[in-house]
Amino acid sequence: MDLGSMKQFNIKLLEWYDCNARILPWRDDPSPYRVWISEIMLQQTRVDTVKPYFKRFMKAVPTIQELADISEDRLLKLWEGLGYYSRARNLKKAAAAIMQEFEGQIPSDIQSLKSLPGIGPYTSGAIASIAFGVKAPAIDGNVLRVMARITANKGDIASPRIKKEIEDLVSQILTVERAGDFNQALMELGATVCLPNGSPKCAECPVQALCKGHLQDIAAELPVKAKKKDRRIEQKTIFVIEYKGNIAIRQRANEGLLSSLWEFPNVEGHLSYEESKARLKEWGITSCEIMPMGTSKHIFTHLEWHMIGYFILVQSIQEYNNFIWATGEEIKKQYSIPTAFKAYSRLINDK
Ligand code: SF4
């Protein structure tokens, strides 16, 4: 892209953004704290999903000090349903680091931002540019797609070399005056016009005349992405066990997938009715009714859980083993059960 085209691109994109930017709760007051929290919530998560979480979080935890002091249980409860819970834990760790190392102020330079837990190249660029007006690129999946199409780049956007090429180009196009708006405009274009999966809406695009992908009629084929490895599949049997109005839950290990969150007792594999009865016996449950709850699937980044579930109504129990027995109300208020179990927590929500 030559200098003249870069300038044109910058002007046209910002003009379009000024008229078309979506009204989002974090945009009316882009303070560093609000930008940081929204950017972390938006990682791997859709804007519409994030909106109510962001508002609730800001009300419950309005300052960095309060975030540094919050209990992990309360934090995870606020995060319940957003997934990727390590994001929440890193927020708390980063808040503590900001209090200790940066006198309670979020730093504005890229290197200091990147030193904080959970903040990588993209998020540091987004915070620095949007909250502080620093001339730094913020390259996410949307930006990679848009720029690959604009420049008709046929390289693999997952490769570090192509990412670097795009980052260098965006750095050149960015201007000091409106760096944060430019980054947001580029992401906004990717989210609302230059859509993924071969469906760019080129007729509505403000930079159509500068887009090589469009001019060469190859936009829909871009970007090129190396095929991802297939996800591993795990089969599970989930037990929603009720005894005297209480439901059995247990805490997951404090490392690995969904660490420290709460779950219904479950085992590897799809257990038959008889196998389930035997397993329940091992847990001290000898007299009960077993009712099937159907199947469910949950997709993580590298893994899929294929689940079957049983509802167990217990008449008598020999020992209380390691489960916590909680009422539906207590589970709703205190325990964070990940969305992966949503199909089976429905029953509790109805109680
Ligand atoms: S012209 Fe089409 S492919 Fe090019 S940036 Fe706009 S929407 Fe994307």
Q: Give pLDDT, residue 37.
A: 98
Mean pLDDT of the chain: 93
% pLDDT > 70, the chain: 98
Cα 147 to ligand 1 centre (Å): 9
Strand partners for 240: 311
Q: Do 334 and 289 belong to one domain?
A: yes
* 169, pLDDT greater than 60: yes
Q: Do 166 and 247 belong to one domain?
A: no
Residue-wise pLDDT tens digits, 135-157? 999 999 999 999 999 999 999 99
Domain count, the chain: 2
Q: Do 163 and 244 belong to one domain?
A: no
- The CATH number assigned to the domain holding 199 equals 1.10.340.30
Residue 242 has, within 13 A of its CA and on its CB side, a CA count of: 17
Q: Give pLDDT, residue 321.
A: 67
Cβ atoms of residues 173 and 218 within 8 Å: no
Q: Do 177 and 105 belong to one domain?
A: yes
* 350, pLDDT greater than 60: no
Residues of the domain holding 154: 3-221
Residue-wise pLDDT tens digits, 15-55? 999 999 999 999 989 999 999 999 999 998 999 999 999 99
Q: Do 214 and 245 belong to one domain?
A: no
What is the rounded CA–CA span in Å between residue 24 and residue 319? 51
Q: Which atom of ligand 1 is nearest to the CA of 204?
A: 7
Domain endpoint, select from 180, 200, 221: 221
- The CATH number assigned to the domain holding 291 equals 3.90.79.10
Residue-wise pLDDT tens digits, 232-285? 999 999 999 999 999 999 999 888 899 889 999 999 999 999 999 999 998 989
Q: Give pLDDT, residue 83.
A: 86
Cα 194 to ligand 1 centre (Å): 5
Residue-wise pLDDT tens digits, 3-15? 888 899 999 999 9
Q: Which atom of ligand 1 is nearest to the CA of 205?
A: 6
Residue nearest to atom 4 of ligand 1 (CA): 211
Q: Which tokens is 61 given?
A: 């935890």
Q: Give pLDDT, residue 260.
A: 86
For residue 227, tell me if it sits in a domain: no
